[in-house]
Structures are given as structure tokens and as C-alpha cells.
Chains A and B, each alone.
Chain A
Amino acid sequence: ETGVTQTPRHLVMGMTNKKSLKCEQHLGHNAMYWYKQSAKKPLELMFVYNFKEQTENNSVPSRFSPECPNSSHLFLHLHTLQPEDSALYLCASRPRGSGGNEQFFGPGTRLTVL
């Protein structure tokens, strides 16, 4: 069991649709992250939340809107996306006091924008 869950696992949407991706962790972690993985490109950080506060927005277009209502949940609201936004969207969380500071990833949501 990964400890970090993401729903849905697959999503197909039109450019005019509005949808949301959900990430959930009950590991007591205090930081959560959204990454985008496009074909043939390295993972790109999108957003960082620490203790529910957004601490980083990596120049992400406004058609991506994150929300972190509590330290266990992270959402990515999507609207008027473009076909080039098709990618694997990965959520990650980081534990408190970990010597390695590794991030634990969810299984990802594979998004296709038509």
C-alpha cells in the first residue's frame, strides 16, 4: 500500500470541461506536492504546500488551481485545459522529521485532454 492515494487514476476531458484531481495521505506528513510528468520530459514541480499553506507555485498557468483544505488532502482543479496539458500528474507528501526527507508519491492520475 502506497500510503498516498490519488483519484481518479485515469481522466479524459475536453478543453471546456472542469474536473478535479484528488490526493490523500494519512501518514501524518506536513508537506504535499503536485508534479507533472509529460512524455519524454523530467518531472516538473507545480505546487508545494506546507502546513496547508502554498509555499511554491512554479509558474503554473492559472487553468490549474490547487487547493489544500487540510494537511491530509490536496486537490488540483482543472479548467479550460489544452491538449498539451495531457500528462501524468503525481502527488507526493513528505514526513516530519525524516532524516532522508524523501517524498512519498501516489500512483498518479493519467490525464488526457481532447
Chain B
Amino acid sequence: AQKITQTQPGMFVQEKEAVTLDCTYDTSDQSYGLFWYKQPSSGEMIFLIYQGSYDEQNATEGRYSLNFQKARKSANLVISASQLGDSAMYFCAMREEDSSYKLIFGSGTRLLVRP
């Protein structure tokens, strides 16, 4: 069974508008972490935002916010005021309670920002 599911292979958004990228996860651990990474065409994975399973408030980092709904096991990324430079692949990832702190990634969503 997939641990991280991103159901949107591709998304379009108009410049300056907000967009939500979906992510659902599956784990039986009580302690885990959720991450979003951005991958431009250059290939580098850029860390955007982190949410811990015990964090009571949704994480925010500038124009990025994470809509964490624990009961639904969802961790959607919200990008406000989209910019052309936001066009990229976006990956949701999870770290389970594991000493290796390895990340399990979803299949990604390609976001295209239209001018």
C-alpha cells in the first residue's frame, strides 16, 4: 500500500492566485513528520515546509502553509500568491518513527503557473 499519495499529477494556477496541492498519508506510528519539497527542472530537491505529528498548529513558511488534518491523514500544501518561479514538481514526504529518519516520497504534482 502506498504510504504517501498525491492524486494530482498536474495542476495549473494563475499567477498571484493561491493553489492547494493534495497529500494523504498512511502510517500507524504516533510520531512522524511530514515534509514538502520543490523540485525545479534543475533537479535539486528544495525543502519547503515541515509538520510534526504532535504540532498543534499548521506550519507556515512565508507563502507556504501546510493544512494538516490529522484525523483525515492529510497534509496539503497551500501556496499563496503564486509566482512564475513556483512552476516545478512538488513532492510530499513522510518520516516515520525510525532511527534512520528516511523519507518516503509521493509521486509528485507538477505545478504550472500561468502568467
Contact = CB atoms under 8 A, between A and B. Distances in A.
A56 B95 CA distance: 14
Interface residues of B, number: 25
B99 to A, nearest CB: 7
A94 B43 contact: no
Contacts, number: 60
Nearest to B42: A107
Interface stretch (B11-19, B71-79, B105-113): B105-113
Contacts of B25: none
A36 to B, nearest CB: 11
A108 B33 contact: no
Contact of B103 (A2, A45, A99, A108): A45
Interface string B16-57: 000000000000000001010100001111110010100000
22 contacts: A2-B44, A31-B100, A41-B107, A42-B108, A43-B45, A43-B105, A45-B102, A45-B103, A50-B100, A55-B100, A56-B102, A88-B43, A90-B45, A100-B35, A101-B50, A102-B47, A103-B47, A103-B103, A105-B37, A105-B44, A105-B45, A106-B44
